[in-house]
Structure 1
């Protein structure tokens, strides 16, 4: 017999404390609900009552699970794009000396790989984010989340297998296979992202910040893994093997943490409508509120435009252009030849982005939504600034910012504003809609983000040709 549990919960989203707080501040935020009463409506004859004192996030399991799920969402992209040396090795000119392939003239596959990867990640993300809106009421949350994470785990294990294979005789086929793998991975990641963003809106703002910050933290972990492997002298294939294994382990832990999280009383308490199987029970229909998509769109369009512009600007040049920027001292030191790209382009970018997201959780400014939109458009200035850095090879534009410190400053500000504006916008979204509209609202915001990434990556492929 199907059993549907409906929680009639109306939680206020005042938005006055969207802080990523620790210790006592976080405890006080979670304790607000201790005296709240939950009425459990069941489609069977069984009824029960959740004990108010048990509605705390015990051991912060839900908080850290959302953090980990945020990391899992970005794992396919961050681990694939950070493994730059590995892909450069796979698509090198096989007739050159293997030990010096990074110093040789790049092949067409090497030059275009990151841009193609960006498109393969962004376009399916958009399509699957749109699909997720229609899956909300048709496929249960757990079925969506667990299915896509299992597929992601399988594809990462398959990628580990290909690391050990010699693909020199079928580079073009392997290139296509890699792009197909990236398309499927990011399609799954999009459904996971849309699902997680949809439900996290039912929690306080610190949980939204946890998901957003987790995405930056995933990029940081991937960058650190690559830097360590380079520091110990591991070959590009050995390094790739290690951090694709780490990526697989991260996804596996995400599966376990999700299963634990959804079975906690705190999680069930915060989900206003929780369906274990489907919404077909007529006795429960009175508790399910219909939503007007057009009305929700009118409420959150400024948030959507902000997210679109921020992600569009970022994916225009990162990593397609930024990964091509070379150190001013290339050819003279290990820093310039080996560590410059992973440390600056990946680690610095993700750390700055992470700081921006944390800052947005602590300082809820600007409060005026139009100001957010204006700031998101102002980031377009970073596109020409980064194009004028020392990205190679180039055929049309002159290099204006040839010094390393100039590129570092521009990239750090670029990433910082990306993280701040995205998280500031997403935090405000639940405050603009009714409680029962939260899930759909955040899914729509995810679609705006997907549109920004898709159009940005397509534009980025063309921008690389301008160099």
Structure 2
């Protein structure tokens, strides 16, 4: 049975000896366990970053001016230098570390076995989150600067491990039928939605900053441990063994099937040969995440209710968590799920992906012309429903285009290059996030 799926009668593009498996030996994914495992692995990849961002109030509390009353340390005029700089430093440190280690993952994909990459990175994430959870209950008022550096260092280590986990998990999913790559992408959106809901529930519970953060980081520690168990289970299922053994068989017999691989090629040639086949999908993913990170969460989180004088919980507590974080993540999840049944551009029509990715640039002015509080930009969209619609559709388009890019990329390469294609796509995602985050800093100064 052909490993790839039939999309818009493109099967002839996907047929190759290395992707053909014998139908009578193919087991079923019983109870969709492998599909659920990839959803869980995708969720575990994104949760660490989301929980660090979700616990922003906790970090501001830890870095507060302890000489002031408890109800005054949130106002901008009373913020300490560490409070003002923390989120920016956290973003820059995390993105820089993520980018560097994603590049290293791409370079060393063929020399470090995936088991070592996955198990080591997940264990590192778990250990750091346990340490972060313990720190929640430690009084750090007397050594705030040390806490500041320690937290940024922990975030850097976590994001380094996350980059390895993400690249390896996506690369692994590319060895399976294309719907399992989709499952990994859906899992990432589930992680984002989960963290957004956790933030809202913590507000509803009216607990202290430390209690909420303790719950966030303890949950992250448990999910990291469970993801390690799920990864181990993956290799014990007959369905997984079938596709993984088929991939190994394809590599061992690549001399007979693919003449270009008669000799061992270096890393540069290996990566270049893959990139030439998937460059359009890589560029689509890169552009998609540049636009997304330029808008979310930087611009979206600065949008304020049009009538802040209405003193109620919606304007004071729930507007940003719902209108920004929850709606974007729900839209992102919907967009990734939509790839299952909505019409998809043909594999031959690569320009459609690029056109749609470039078209999303329109979201930047649309959101800037909402009530961002900027003195230099007029407010054209003067109702709260406008930014909510823009944020929701920003998430839907992000999820839809990014997932299709990740689904189509491995379909353009032979199976022995599928993992490499997945890692390269993960690198393009990371580079897009980094460039978008840097551009967002400039947009915020307008």
TM range (shorter): 0.7 to 0.9
Q: How far apart, CA to CA, are the structure 1 residues paired with 2:287 and 2:21?
A: 36
Q: Aligned in 2, Cα 1:15/1:446: closer, same or farther, shift over 3 Å? A: farther
- What's the offset of the Cα at 1:138? 1.5
Q: Is the 8 A contact 1:115 1:320 kept in 2?
A: no
Correspondence for 2:55: 83
- What's the offset of the Cα at 1:110? 4.2
Q: How far apart, CA to CA, are the structure 1 residues paired with 2:8 and 2:52?
A: 36
Q: Residues 346-381 of structure 1, C-alpha deviation per residue, up to 9 Å, x if partnerless?
A: 211111100011112322422221111111111112
2:192 is aligned with 1:192: no
Stretch moving more, 66-75 or 317-326:
317-326
| Partner SS, residue 273 of structure 1 | helix
Q: Is the 8 A contact 1:33 1:56 kept in 2?
A: no
Q: Residues 162-192 of structure 1, C-alpha deviation per residue, up to 9 Å, x if partnerless?
A: 2223334444443333222222111111111
- What's the offset of the Cα at 1:465? 2.5
Q: Aligned in 2, Cα 1:439/1:231: closer, same or farther, shift over 3 Å? A: same
Aligned residues: 421
- Structure 1 segment 328-367 matched on structure 2, within 5 A: 328-330=306-308, 332-367=311-346
Q: Which runs of 5+ in 2 are unaligned?
A: 10-19
Q: How far apart, CA to CA, are the structure 1 residues paired with 2:243 and 2:60?
A: 46
Q: Aligned in 2, Cα 1:453/1:308: closer, same or farther, shift over 3 Å? A: same
Tell me the TM-score normalised to structure 2 length. Answer: 0.86
Q: Is the 8 A contact 1:93 1:101 kept in 2?
A: yes
Q: How far apart, CA to CA, are the structure 1 residues paired with 2:366 and 2:138?
A: 40
Correspondence for 1:5: none
2:421 is aligned with 1:430: no
- Structure 1 segment 99-118 matched on structure 2, within 5 A: 99-102=71-74, 105=77, 107=79, 109-118=82-91
Q: Is the 8 A contact 2:72 2:78 kept in 1?
A: no
Stretch moving more, 105-114 or 180-189:
105-114
2:432 is aligned with 1:452: yes
Q: Aligned in 2, Cα 1:430/1:154: closer, same or farther, shift over 3 Å? A: same
Correspondence for 2:289: 311
- What's the offset of the Cα at 1:69? 0.3
Greater helix proportion? 2
Tell me the TM-score normalised to structure 1 length. Answer: 0.83
| Partner SS, residue 314 of structure 2 | helix
Q: Is the 8 A contact 1:156 1:247 kept in 2?
A: yes
Q: Residues 254-299 of structure 1, C-alpha deviation per residue, up to 9 Å, x if partnerless?
A: 0111111112221111123349xxx9xxx99969956743232111
Q: How far apart, CA to CA, are the structure 1 residues paired with 2:359 and 2:8?
A: 27
Correspondence for 1:21: none
Stretch moving more, 366-375 or 252-261:
366-375
Correspondence for 2:199: 226
Q: Is the 8 A contact 1:201 1:439 kept in 2?
A: yes
| Partner SS, residue 361 of structure 1 | coil
- What's the offset of the Cα at 1:68? 0.4
Q: Is the 8 A contact 2:305 2:384 kept in 1?
A: yes
Select the residue among 247, 264, 279 that pairs with 1:273. Answer: 247
Q: How far apart, CA to CA, are the structure 1 residues paired with 2:200 and 2:23?
A: 49
Q: How far apart, CA to CA, are the structure 2 residues paired with 1:35 and 1:349?
A: 41
